[in-house]
Amino acid sequence: MHRPRFFFCGVLCATLTQGAAATEPEVTIVAGGRMATYAPAALLALPAATHVTIPDDVAYKREMSFRAVPVAALFAGVGQDETIRFVANDGFVANLPAAPLLARGAGAVAYLAIEPPDAPWPPLKAGESATAGPFYLVWVRPELGGIRAEQWPYQIARIESVASLIKRYPMLAPASGLSAQDPIRHGFAAYEKNCAVCHTLNLGGDATIGPDLNVPYNPTEYLRVDALRRLIRDPQTLRRWPAAKMPNFPATTLSDRELTDLLAYLRHMADRKVALPPIK
């Protein structure tokens, strides 16, 4: 897929860069509320800058060498439970859990690869000009961290740390007395990963593509357990219409155990409803 190259930057960023030429590549980094904008040369001059060799690069599908800065060096002080959001210059967004990105040491380690202005990378596709630059997230030893292809965003224009979903939307939280091992907590993790990208619950969440899953009614209040399991696995086997948008969740995405825990979380939240404002 060809993604056009144009510089993505808000008004605030334009003022902060103090008149830098709009065509000069830059990355804006927002970590813990502090914002900074870097040109490639500024990142390459950081003491943490190094060379990495990636035997199986995801964007180029071959061995690549890059000049790069460890992500952990750019996001010092960001919490392990936060999310780091990568925005590409065409607006594509990848929300990645912070913990693996902040790891250092002998396992999988994330680097922000920097395309040197005087030595551009090859195009992603023969015959096209777009490269993976100006900034590209690459991983050393990805196999040791189970790092998937979606975790290699390229053509990055902005990187920001975002507080965890539960910090931003406390109404999603299960009762605080539950142990870390409680199935309800595992169920919340499954909800966060698979469902929060489209649904709110207790009116909390970033996306409103699907209906709220707790107010006015929680699906565990009006669907039998077997019907609800079937709906989540393959919505069209319960109710079928052409414009439906909810995807399937086969066992490869959501194991039987995760589905059981997810239903325990949903049932638990039925007793923790927020007041619903009246319909205007």
Which residues are near ligand HEC by CB under 6 A? 194-195, 197-199, 209-211, 213, 219, 231-232, 235, 244-247, 249, 254, 262
Shortest CB 213 distance to ligand HEC, Å:
6
| Residue for token pair 């009614």 | 217
Q: Which is nearer to ligand HEC, 120 or 247 (CB)?
A: 247
Tokens of 168: 């931003």
Considering beta carbons, is residue 164 or 253 the nearer one to ligand HEC?
253
Q: How far is the CB of 219 from ligand HEC (least distance, A)?
A: 4
Residues 172 and 272: their CA atoms lie apart, in Å, by 9
Q: How far is the CB of 230 from ligand HEC (least distance, A)?
A: 11
Of the pair 64, 195, the CB lying nearest ligand HEC is at 195
- Residue closer to ligand HEC by CB (options 158, 199) is 199
**In b/e form, how buried is each residue of 63-96, taking b as 16+ CB within 10 angstroms?**
ebebbbbbbbbbbeebeeebbbbbbbbeebebeb
| CB of 207 vs ligand HEC, minimal distance in Å | 8
d(CA 68, CA 137): 9
Our CB check for ligand HEC shows the closer of 89 and 194 to be 194
Which of 107, 121, 117, 124 is CA-nearest to residue 58? Answer: 124
How far apart are CB 116 and ligand HEC at their closest, in Å? 39
- From the number of C-beta atoms within 10 Å of its C-beta (0-12, 13-18, 19+), residue 259 rates as buried
